[in-house]
Structure 1
Amino acid sequence: MLPYGRHTVDQDDIDAVVNVLQNQFLTQGVAVPAFEKALCEYTHAQFALAVNSGTSGLHVACLAAGVGRSDLVWTVPNSFVASANCARYCGADIDFVDINPLTRNICLTQLKNKLAHCEKLPKVLIVVHFAGESCDMQAISALTRQYNITLIEDAAHALGATYQGKPVGCCQYSDMTVLSFHPVKSITSAEGGAITTNDNSLLERLTLFAKHGITREPSLLEDKEQGAWYYEQHELGFNYRMSDLHGALGLSQLNKLDEFIQHRREKAIVYVNALHALPVKLPDEKALATSAWHLFMIELLAHDRKQVFDELRALGVGVNVHYIPIHQQPYYQKLGFQSGDFPHAEQFYQSAITLPLFPAMTESEQRHVIDSLHEVLQ
């Protein structure tokens, strides 16, 4: 079965991990700081903090933003549940803004209207760069600044993407950007994530919450008369640190990121050219040169999705579906959300299928996907 996503690991990656195993500290050594520095260089952000998952990154980003009980966080419904769960971990309430059917990202018109007419403003807005294409961050930032809302980019799909010619993750228009290094993402550290920011005070908060709430930083200690062994716990933090094994793999992978993204974009172009005559809605072609192409998703216009899904899998094409709208999950329905609340996200989910796309996908493998789609849909 050809999977929808697959990591690419070469001998350089293996050697980097073996080097840590044989010669370095397995955790709290030099590999993670080197990875964080390289992430700053790539994204052009001033600071980066590596953590053990993108979900952890979202959680500590909310904590660093001061999210707590009685606060409200907004995000979009067409994402993985972590984009909303992070607010719930903090005890906050959650609400959603529907998507633009063309971009599949947050709808600016609906965001503007909701901000203008809501009874309670959100403390934080988490925008999701769905499938690898950046949201319109300049326009979103203009709205959040107007209402004094902290803006967090969920860029789990979008490392390697660009917006206005700059790398996603530079935080030009946001307070923080959260990245993911899960095996099917732009690069992998096996499991892992990171938060980038240009605000040193946010970095201090992020670091504190990701590392047990403990600090050894002399300028932050309340008792400055103790020895070098001394540390203080200032917050109820978490053990979200990235190990040096993961950091070494991530650093090695980052050196190949541009190559990976180029392969993804080339395959996205092949799909667009080969599928335009089928009864499907393709991704916005404006994204071809800027998206990280974490996912290539089509929308069926005249076929039963389950039947198409099953037939493609029977042909060895491991299609998938991303995502069940968060507000339709049983947990969130218990909070009062109902089907029909966000119709654009729901309509997209009902017809969407994710096609295989990953850097090492061969020409013959992609041709098999295309031929199988033509067979099933025609």
Structure 2
Amino acid sequence: MDKIVPFIPYGKQNITDEDIQAVVDVLKSDLLTQGPKIQEFERAFADYVGAKYAVAVNNATAGLHLSSKALGVKINDRVIVTPITFAASANCIRYCGGNVIFCDIDKHSYLLDTGLLREKLNSSPPNTYQGIVAVDFAGYPINLEELKSIADDYGLWILEDACHALGGYFIDSKGETQHCGNGKFADIAVFSFHPVKHITTGEGGMITTNNDLLYEKICLYRTHGITRTPTIMCEKGAWYNEMIDLGYNYRLTDFQAALGISQLKRAKVSLLHRRRIAQKYDQAFKSIKGIIIPHVADGYYHAYHLYVILVEDRRGMYDFLRKNNIFTQVHYIPLHWMPYYRNINNADGLLPTSEAYYQYCLSLPMFPTLTNDEQDLVIQKILEFLR
């Protein structure tokens, strides 16, 4: 009788009894939403990444949208975005009526190529662009110190999409540790709590910033543009509130926040597990012809939301592993190839490094509860395919 091969996804959540109890406690409480757990989660998260403020939202897409609105993106603004990312990184600009201009990636890090970025800015008239959406792709932090220097030269804001990079950091020119989302160089950062991310609330996200004005705007827009702040209302009274701008209902619930608090308590341990898994993949594949493992430069602490390899016969390996119940994934189809963005003056050959990357990229199973036996099987089957 054939041995049953376990189903191994590319990513999955880890829910403990402590997580469940934290949620149950809130479900038994008086407040399921807009209660004390939201602020508790926000404070704990801000402390974790080293930011002044954190604002919980119902998902990271909402967080990116609120951030774009708070930054003042308006109709016909031009914002530079990397094409190797999830669609929300660019869509948030379109929600506000702005135009997305893609800039190619670095062939080693797969992050926004700062050299090409500067060339694009140098070759354009002043004030052509208003901002940059920078993505910490796969958990590899982009050097925001360098990016901030470029942005300041051209009067641009920076929105850091840190959805992949909770716990990641780089060492700056002064030898100081700069955690993703700490607000030192980027104006705003956004994190995701989707089940495959470092911590989960089911769906959910967090916005971080050190800017007082941006924080106030984000809080306002998160709840319909309605305020209860006495100093800016026309009338006073415990019942009274005023809608002073057009906002949205992008709130997180208290029971989700309770899950987030519980998950955050073991975020560092989970990150160490991810790095251990990455190191094992590195050792297995670093000398294997036909595989390129992730590049990590000195001074960077990769958070490994994804472990992406490049392999020549990507489709063949993907299908072979799938037949063996190992479900890898491709991250991502270049955004400028998506039909929506193709119709906005984007064509093949526009971003050659991103297009070449897409032909070969494959994300291997990467999650803290991946067992040694499961990872051994993944490695074994990849080597078997290459042979």
Distance 2:239 2:386 in 1: 67
For residue 133 of structure 1, what is the aligned residue in structure 2?
140
Aligned length: 374
Matching residue's letter, 2:29: N
**How do 1:1-378 residues align onto structure 2 when only pairs under 5 Å count?**
1-119=7-125, 121-164=128-171, 165-221=177-233, 223=234, 225-278=235-288, 279-286=290-297, 290-301=301-312, 304-378=313-387
In the TM superposition, what whole-angstrom CA distance separates every residue of 1:86-114 from its partner, at most 9, and x where no partner exists? 00000111111100010110101001101
The answer to whether the 8 Å contact 2:136/2:142 transfers is yes
SS in 1 for 2:115: helix
Residue deviations 1:26-77, cap 9 Å, x none?
1000111100000111111000100001111100000000001121111100
Q: How much does 1:311 deviate?
A: 0.6
SS of the counterpart of 2:28? helix
Write the deviation string for residues 264-309 of structure 1: whole angstroms up to 9, x where unpaired: 00000000000123211110143796111000010013xx221111
Output one character per residue of 1:2-41: Cα deviation in whole Å (capped at 9) or x when no partner.
0000111101110110000002411000111100000111
- Equivalent residue letter for 1:96: F
Mark the CA change 1:131 to 1:12 in structure 2 (over 3 Å): closer, same or farther. Answer: same
Equivalent residues of 1:209, 1:237 under 8 A apart:
yes
Structure 1: give runs of 5+ residues left out of the alignment. none
Q: Please tell me whether the aligned partners of residues 136 and 165 of structure 2 are also in contact (alpha carbons under 8 angstroms).
A: yes
- C-alpha distance in structure 2 between counterparts of 1:350 and 1:87, whole Å: 27
- Secondary structure, counterpart of 1:204 in structure 2: helix
CA RMSD of the aligned region, Å?
1.2
SS in 2 for 1:49: strand
Structure 2 CA distance for aligned equivalents of residues 276 and 315 of structure 1: 23
- The residue type equivalent to 1:227 in the other structure is G
Look up the SS of the partner of 1:87 in the other structure: helix
Pick which of 337-346 and 112-121 moved more.
112-121
SS at match of 2:217: helix
In structure 1, what residue type is equivalent to 2:39? P
Instruction: Point out the more displaced range, 162-171 or 18-27.
Output: 162-171
- 2:53 & 2:168 partners in 1: Cα distance? 19
The one-letter amino acid of 1:241's match is R
Distance in 1 separating the partners of 2:373 and 2:299: 22
Runs of 4+ in 1 over 3 A off after TM superposition: 285-289
Cα distance in 1, alignment partners of residues 88 and 346 from structure 2: 17
User: TM-score, normalized by length of structure 2?
Assistant: 0.95
Normalised by the size of structure 1, how large is the TM-score? 0.97
Q: Distance in 2 between matches of 1:172 and 1:69?
A: 28
